Structures are given as structure tokens and as C-alpha cells.
Structure 1
Amino acid sequence: MTARYWRVVLVLLWVVTGCDSSEGKGDAGTVVEDGGAREDGGTPEDAGPGDAGTDPLACEKQHGVCAGARRAMVDGAYEPECTALSYGADYESAETRCDGLDNDCDGVTDPSFASRVTNLDMPYVDGLSILRTDQGVFVSMSGNGVRILRLNTDLVLQGTGTVSMPWTRKDAPVGVSYAAKLLRTQDGLALVYATHGPSLGPPFHAYLVPLDAQGLPKTGPEGDLLEFPLVDWQGDGRAPRMATSPQGDRVVVVWRTGTEQTPPFQVMGAVTDLRGQVLVAPKVLFTSPERKQPWPSDVLVLRNEEVLVAVNDESPALGGDTVRLRRFNTHLDPVGDERSFELAYGAAPRLVELGATRGGPLESPVLLMRSRVGPPWVTQVQVVQNLFSGGVGETWSEVPTPQVAWYGALADEGVLRLAWLSKHKDYGAPPPGGDSFLGWEGRLWTQDEGHASADRSPTPDLLPLHAHAQWVLMEKLAPRQVGALYMTSTVEGSSLDAVRYCTP
């Protein structure tokens, strides 16, 4: 008999008897490689029809890291529904990684996640800061006392603490808490906050409160709040800004003093250690021209220990802003020449230290500010690098009038990242609930250095915003993942919302 005859007989026997029971089986937990259609009906019932052509061993998901995935065999049987055993080590049932892959195989790579962090007892406009430590992400919010939220890196609320004001704890004149900031010190996390008297009047005080690892205020031997006075200024004080030195052993506080009734307008500065020991007594840093009101905008202590202060001189009747920038030594004496930038009203300047990867101590800080240009009129967020060698503004984000951009910034391992609310209001429409502070709407945007802006709004609908929604807090949460926190408001109240997103 010919060889062809025997080949035909063998094929017929294979069809009648089926494959050997061991054929097509691999070791437990491995993917079988033959995967051809079997005429004995031995394929898994739940194999997704059409997921990978006619392959009966194809997994249900075939996008992203699941492309080409086939069912693994476990204890002698194919998985009835594919799991990570079939899909591989890069698979996640719900995507959390920022690795440039579609890990949950839904066709979307590195999606953003929106969440509601907590309801707020009031719409906040000041005393907001954010800082991440090994124990969590902390947020401060200043109102009747300073509220401190502790979040995990998914921006889920884990706990809250409160720093009460002096007049509620001891025999002290009633005042108003005005600003607060979370700072990293050589002794750990701390809160620095400032107060003034009623109606923005004197006196002006600043305090440091050490916090424990959970963001709760530390207490002294008698169980009372541990608190160190930093500034005791008997004049009026407004717009305080605070910063710590790179070593975390000194605190710099700057503020504005003077009124139209008690000129001149001046920007003051002082330096103390962490226990309130005065290192530099309050002294004048800037004096503004007549009729211009200076507002301290930001302060940084550079890596060479110099202090960099940004001040915004506002002209009367919204006539425009002059952003002034100057360095000071450790004694708060001026160093070098002052720089200034002429802008439209509402410049909202801010300083960001990008760190050693961007050069020396005088090369790494950048200035951000808003500018209104046109026609057609648009609001831009500009970034100025090389501050002390003639750098000029580079336009990043841009929103058309009548929208306004309120932005936040983050230095992420030498890379500058922005987030902002572009908001506007239809003044011809009746305000929700009759509240004139409501009725603002907008969207949340982000932009990473070297990349185009991205709309991070959680839904296609415009965000309901309050007039006080003039901030976005940013913090790094994990490698290539950033959180942006902002406030939304309706007639039912205000909320702290968040978006977690992946960076390029």
C-alpha cells in the first residue's frame, strides 16, 4: 500500500476517535499554543465569539495588553473566563497604572479618573495648600479655623484634623484667620497660618503648628495645642505668604501693610526659626508708588538660601498690574536688580522652583502670570524662565474672553505642569437660588511642559462653579500620575472634587 493510503487512514482514525486526551494541554497556568477548532466540541462555552476570528480559545478582551490573549489552562481545564493568568502581567481589571498601556483592555490608554473628595462647609477662596508625605496627601483649608484633610494617593479621604484659632483657645482678641499653608520642615509636617483683626485691621500675627504623621496638630505636656508665634505685627497685615528654607529650618513670612488712610503701602518680610526665634525682624522689602496697591504674590527660598519675592502692584480702577520680582539675602537685604513686567489687571503671579535638574539656584525658578492680549481678546498663562538673565514670557494656556483662567502649578522632577479652570458667567441669566456668587461654569484643563493642553473635565457638561473657585491644587501622586483638586458649587452646597491623570 502506498504512503498516501496510510496517511488517509490515519486522518480518518483521528476524526473518529478524536485527539488524544492529553493533546492541547499544557502545564497549569500556561497558555495552550495549538488552539485549533476541535470537532468534539471541547472548547470553553464562554469563549467570546468573534473576539479573535474563529479561535475558540481566544479571550473575551482583545484590546490593549489583551490583544492576542488566549485562555490559560488551570488544573487541566481552560479558564471559563480569562483572568490575568491569560492576559499577562500587565493586565489590570481596573486600570491604575500610568505606563502608556491599555491595561484593562477597554480601548482607552491611561484614562483619567474623577472623584468627589468631600463636601465642604463653605466655599473656600484662601488658605488652601496641598502637600504629599509618605503618610498621605494633605490639604489645608482656612475658614473658622484651619481644616486639614488627609487623603490617600487615590485622593480618597482618610481623616480630618482642625487647628483652632487662638481666640477660641485662650484669652486673646477675636480675629479672623486669613491664610494657611502646609510646609515641610526638618521636624516634619507643619502648618503656618496668619490672622488679622476684624475688618482686616491690626494686629497681624503668624503662627507655626507642628503636625504629626496623620496631619493632626501636636500637643504640649499639658495636652494643649503646640504652637509657636512667628510674627507679632501691631499694624495691619494682608496677603501673607510663607515659605521654608531648603533645609526646613527657617520660615520666611511676607505681608502687605498700609492703607489709603495710613500710607504708604509696603511689603514687609521677617524670618524666624521653627520655634519662633526671630532671625530677621520685620523690615520693608518693597514700597509701591502712590495710588498703587502692592500685593505679595509668592515667596521662595532658593537653593542658595536667597529669598525670592514676587509682588503685584495694582493700579486704580483696574488700570493694569506691574509684577515686580526681587532677590534678597538671608538678612532680607536686596540682591541684584529688580525685574518688572507690565500686564493687564489680574496678573495673579506665582513662583515655582523646578529644582537642580533645571540648573543652578538662579536658573531653576520660574515665574507664572496671566496676561490679557488682543484683539481678539484672550487670557493667557505665561511662563518666564531665566528670570535673572533677561527671560521673557512664553505663552502656555489660552482662553478666550469672557472666560477667565484660574491656575495651579506643580514642579514634578524638574518638569513644570499646569492645571486651570476656565470659567465664565452669563450675567444675563438669573443666578441659581438667587445667589449672585453662583452661576459660574467652566472646564478643567491641564498642560505638561512640551505638550498641548488637555481637557480633564469629568463629563461633557460644564462644571458648576462658585465665584470663589479661583484655585486648583496640584500634587504628584505616583510615578507619572498627578492629582488636580478644585471646588464645584451648586445651590445644594460646595464640594472638593478631584481628577487623577497620567502625565506623558
Structure 2
Amino acid sequence: MTARYWRAVLVLLLVVTGCDSSDSKGDAGAVEDGGPDAGPDGGSEDAGPGDAGTGPLACEKQHGVCAGAKRAMVDGAYEPECTARSYGADYESAETRCDGLDNDCDGVTDPSFTSRVTNLDTAYVNGLSILRTDQGIFVSMSNNGVRVLRLNTDLVLEGTATVSMPWTRKDVPVGVGYAAKLLRTQDGLALVYVTHGPSLRPPFRAYLVPLDAQGSPKTGPEGELLEFPLVDWQGDGRSPRMATSPQGDRVVVVWRTGTEQSPPFQVMGTVTDLQGQVLVAPKVLFTSPEGKQPWLSDVLVLRNEEVLVAVNEEAHAMGGDTVRLRRFDTHLDPVGDERSFELAYGSAPRLVELGAARGGPLESPVLLMRSRVGPPWVTQVQVVQNLFGGGMPQTWSEVPTPQIVWYGALADEGVLRLAWLSKYKDYEAPAPGGDSFLGWEGRLWTQDEGHASVDRSPTPDFLPLHTYAQWLLMEKLAPRRVGALYMTSTVEGSSLDAVRYCTP
């Protein structure tokens, strides 16, 4: 072969090799099979979990604390489904925290939770109170016998105890259970309950029953119920209210006495120790003028040991209310000047002690009232602060007439919190099941001091309510979480329902 032939072969090989090299690179800078600049089909960060040499996929949830989350690597492979490893320390599969974050990443921050606590035997319950201890949330309710419910901080029922009336345990005349209240004492949880004779006849009696950590009545050596008589009043007694001293060593009981047939109407008060030893014998605290009928509204023992009593005097024919307020010393003698407020009928006043965070013993109590103003007519919830320094009512919230407001209140580390039912009934509509006490409907609202009111109703539908759904209980459940208990009623019966919500 000639030299010219071999030179031609060499040129051909160089050309072929150059073409193969060019084809293997494709476009300048492109890299196949997972190079750092590859597209979605070439192993980018959006590649499926577990692909060797690829980045993680974005997690399924992308709201709230999950925003921007990508799959974490576990044992050398990316999570097939994101967990808290991927979402971070603030993530919860079901939100329980009140931290201002959307922890479960569903687009809702600090949601409310509603639940059914228990079914009720009747809608005609009284003796309603609520108190938290280290062992749980306790609720009292009575209907010719007292039940004490023990709930956990999710307001789930964990136990029930009962306190039967004296005539079911002793050889005493049959009476009627009238009121009950859970109180905190220096010896622990206690229940004070009140009875009277049939048809509100005498005698009027009050008893203290110590309760154990589970809310059950304590018993003596022979298994007998421990019970201490506090009041044995042989006249008529209505509208009782009870409170303990700041040290929990004394009990104050106040009540109304007198009728139109046996005037005058007066408010009585007494003080005992926890075993019923009388420290201050029953004495008159208020006497109402002719044409006014008093109803006890509330009693507080202030941090300086003074007793603060609020009385609501109703004029005849729903002519309006006069709310009277006065302090008494440890002997139940008057201290300072009385204050009074003129309001429309149905003022439903209530006292709340906000505690040392709001100042001294005379600065921290506040008065709450309902007032109907207009036109246009609305029902307002008003708060009076600085009660003994000339403070005047301030409007917190209002609903249009003919809605009716029934409210509860809570002092939470110096902050006042409210919850209420706004009720309405269409009297033109047929009564459910023919029961005229049914057919009310309403919404559940809450309001925290310094903030606007919030609708906490569980659904867009109105709550079915009974005529006697005239109460609402509030208690703090955990930091920044509050619970409210209320009653709903249908033709099937009545229930104790609850809402748990976060505070600002």
C-alpha cells in the first residue's frame, strides 16, 4: 500500500472519532442522568423520594409551619410521606397548641374545638358552677340532688360523683335542692349546697361537703358522709350566693328573705368556718324600698378580707332594675358608700375579681351587667371598672333586640374574658315536638379584653336551645386556652356541650 493510502485512512478515523465525541456531549453544557442542571426527567430536586443522587420532593402539606417543607432523609432514603421529621418541631398532626401558628398545616391557625360532654337528664338544672384544680375541671349541677362532673383539660368526662339531699339520707322533712357551688378551701375542694322547704317555704339551710381529689364526697370513720351545716334559717330564703375567703378558711353565705305578704324584702348574710362554727350571725345587709324586689346577684370576698355584695332590685311590671353594690368588713358591717346603677329590666349583674395583676384589693374587682338601650334597641354587655373610684359602665358588646344575651365571665391572670349565648325565638313557628320551651336558637360568642368578639358556634347552623339555657360556664384549661360549657336541647333531650378555644 502507498503512503497516500495510509494518510487517507488516518484522516477518516480522525473524522469518525470527532463525530462520536461530539454526539456524546450533545448540546454544550448538557449532562444526562442526574447532572446538577438536569430537568424534571433527569433527576432534579423534584425527583421521586429515594432516587439515588437526587434531591427531595416537596412535602404534601405546604400551609402554615409546613410551608416550603421537603422530605427528610431517614436511614439513607427520603421519607415516602412527610412526618414531623420533615415538617419541623412546630408541626402537629392534630393541632393542640395555642401559639399563633398553623401547626397542622390545614390553613387554620389556633382553631376552636367543640365537643359533647354528656347527656343531661333534664334541662331544668341549677346549682351550676365550675372550678379547676390540679386533678381536673370540676362542674356542679343540681336537680334535687347534686352531681359533680370531673373533666380533663380537653373537657372530656372522666368521672361523676353525687351528693344526695338530706331527706334521702336522714329522717328530715322533704325539701327542695335550690343551689350549689364548688369552692376552694384551705382543706381542698368543697361543695356548698342550699335547700328549702316545698314551694320555697322555710326552713332555709346551707351545708358544706368536703370533696376528695376526684370530686367525690369525703366520708367519716363509719363511711358516713362528712357534711357541715352552715345555715339553719327558719324564715324563707331565696337567691343564695356563697364565697370563701382568700385564705379559704371562712365561708360567706348571703340570701334574700321577705315576701309581698311578709315585707320587708331584705338581704341577709352570715359567716362561718369550714365546720359550720358561726363567726358572724345572720344580719341584714340591704333593705329594699317599697315597690322593689331584690335578687342576690353575687358575692366576693376581696383580698383585704372585705365582703363585696351586688344586689339587683327589680321594679314592678318590669319597670327597670337598680343594681346596688356595697362593701362590708369581716363583721359584715358596711364600709364606705354604696354605689348603684339604673338599668333596663334583666340586668343580670355579676362580680369578677381580676386579682393582683389589676391593682390593689379595691381596684381589681369589676362589675358586669346587661343593659337594653335604644332606639334602635340593642342589648349590651357592660363592664364597670374602678368600682370604688367613680368608674362608669363601658360597653363591650351588643346584640340587636329581640335577641337575649346570657353570659359567663372568667378572670385569667388579670385579663377579663367573656362568653355568651345570643338567643332568639320565632314564636310564629311551631314548637318542636309541641314543647313550647323548645324552639329557641342562637350563637355562641366569646370576647377577650381589648379584642373584638368572635363567633365560636360549632357550625353555620344555629344552636338548638331551651328556654332555660340561661347560663354559660367558663374556665381556663391551659396557657392561652379557655373552655366554655353550655346546654343545647332538642326533642331528643338536652346535652352539656363545650368549646375549647385559644385566647389572643
**If the length of structure 1 is used for normalisation, what is the TM-score?**
0.92
Residue 126 of structure 1 deviates from its aligned partner by 2.1
Alpha-carbon separation, structure 1, partners of 2:319 and 2:190: 39
8 Å contact kept, 1:113–1:499: yes
Tell me the equivalent position of 2:102: 102
8 Å contact kept, 1:35–1:57: no
Tell me the equivalent position of 1:39: 42
Tell me the equivalent position of 2:123: 123
Residue identity matched to 1:179? A
Query: Quick one: structure 1 residues 79 and 315, their matched pair in 2 at CA, closer, same or farther if it must change by over 3 Å?
Result: same
8 Å contact kept, 2:40–2:47: no
Residue 429 of structure 1 deviates from its aligned partner by 1.4
Deviations 1:245-264 (A, max 9, x none): 00000000000001111111
Task: Give the 3-state SS of the residue equivalent to 1:352 in structure 2.
Answer: strand
**If the length of structure 2 is used for normalisation, what is the TM-score?**
0.92
Task: Give the 3-state SS of the residue equivalent to 1:128 in structure 2.
Answer: strand
8 Å contact kept, 1:46–1:81: no
8 Å contact kept, 2:91–2:103: yes
Residue identity matched to 1:39? G
Task: Give the 3-state SS of the residue equivalent to 2:317 in structure 1.
Answer: helix
Residue 42 of structure 1 deviates from its aligned partner by 9.4
Tell me the equivalent position of 1:51: none
Query: Quick one: structure 1 residues 16 and 376, their matched pair in 2 at CA, closer, same or farther if it must change by over 3 Å?
Result: closer
Tell me the equivalent position of 2:178: 178
Alpha-carbon separation, structure 2, partners of 1:179 and 1:44: 68
Alpha-carbon separation, structure 1, partners of 2:288 and 2:441: 36
Residue 224 of structure 1 deviates from its aligned partner by 1.1
Tell me the equivalent position of 1:132: 132
Residue 207 of structure 1 deviates from its aligned partner by 0.4
Alpha-carbon separation, structure 1, partners of 2:27 and 2:146: 82
Deviations 1:3-55 (A, max 9, x none): xx99x969999945656xxx9xxxxxxxxxx99957258967589xxxxxxx8
Alpha-carbon separation, structure 2, partners of 1:104 and 1:160: 33
Q: How does 1:59-208 map to 2 (within 5 A)?
A: 59-208=59-208
Task: Give the 3-state SS of the residue equivalent to 2:126 in structure 1.
Answer: coil
Deviations 1:130-174 (A, max 9, x none): 011110000000112001110000000001000110000011111
Deviations 1:468-504 (A, max 9, x none): 0001100000100000110000000000000000000
Tell me the equivalent position of 1:415: 415
After superposing on structure 2, the runs of 4+ consecutive aligned residues of structure 1 that deviate more than 6 Å are 8-14, 41-44
8 Å contact kept, 1:129–1:181: yes
Alpha-carbon separation, structure 1, partners of 2:477 and 2:41: 49
Deviations 1:425-481 (A, max 9, x none): 111112111111111110000000000000000000000000000011000001000
Tell me the equivalent position of 2:472: 472
Tell me the equivalent position of 2:500: 500
- Unmatched runs of 5 consecutive residues or more in structure 1: 24-33, 48-54
Alpha-carbon separation, structure 2, partners of 1:386 and 1:35: 71
Alpha-carbon separation, structure 1, partners of 2:486 and 2:34: 64
Residue identity matched to 1:315? A
Q: How does 1:161-310 map to 2 (within 5 A)?
A: 161-310=161-310
8 Å contact kept, 1:124–1:141: no
Deviations 1:170-228 (A, max 9, x none): 11111100010001100000000100100011000000000000011111111011100
Identity %: 85
Residue identity matched to 2:270? A
Tell me the equivalent position of 1:27: none
Tell me the equivalent position of 2:368: 368
8 Å contact kept, 1:140–1:182: yes
Task: Give the 3-state SS of the residue equivalent to 1:127 in structure 2.
Answer: strand
8 Å contact kept, 2:130–2:182: yes
Deviations 1:256-296 (A, max 9, x none): 00111111110000000011010001100000001211111
Residue identity matched to 2:224? D
Query: Quick one: structure 1 residues 441 and 46, their matched pair in 2 at CA, closer, same or farther if it must change by over 3 Å?
Result: farther
Task: Give the 3-state SS of the residue equivalent to 2:127 in structure 1.
Answer: coil
Residue 397 of structure 1 deviates from its aligned partner by 1.4
Tell me the equivalent position of 2:6: none
Tell me the equivalent position of 2:9: none
Residue 229 of structure 1 deviates from its aligned partner by 0.4
Alpha-carbon separation, structure 2, partners of 1:122 and 1:148: 16
- Unmatched runs of 5 consecutive residues or more in structure 2: 1-20
Alpha-carbon separation, structure 1, partners of 2:340 and 2:119: 41
Alpha-carbon separation, structure 2, partners of 1:42 and 1:115: 43
Residue identity matched to 1:132? R
Tell me the equivalent position of 1:356: 356
Alpha-carbon separation, structure 1, partners of 2:377 and 2:120: 35
Q: How many residues align?
A: 480
Task: Give the 3-state SS of the residue equivalent to 2:101 in structure 1.
Answer: coil
CA RMSD of aligned residues (A): 2.2
Alpha-carbon separation, structure 2, partners of 1:283 and 1:16: 97
Query: Quick one: structure 1 residues 253 and 46, their matched pair in 2 at CA, closer, same or farther if it must change by over 3 Å?
Result: farther
Q: Is 1:462–2:465 an aligned residue pair?
A: no
Query: Quick one: structure 1 residues 260 and 95, their matched pair in 2 at CA, closer, same or farther if it must change by over 3 Å?
Result: same
Query: Quick one: structure 1 residues 305 and 35, their matched pair in 2 at CA, closer, same or farther if it must change by over 3 Å?
Result: farther
Residue identity matched to 2:66? C
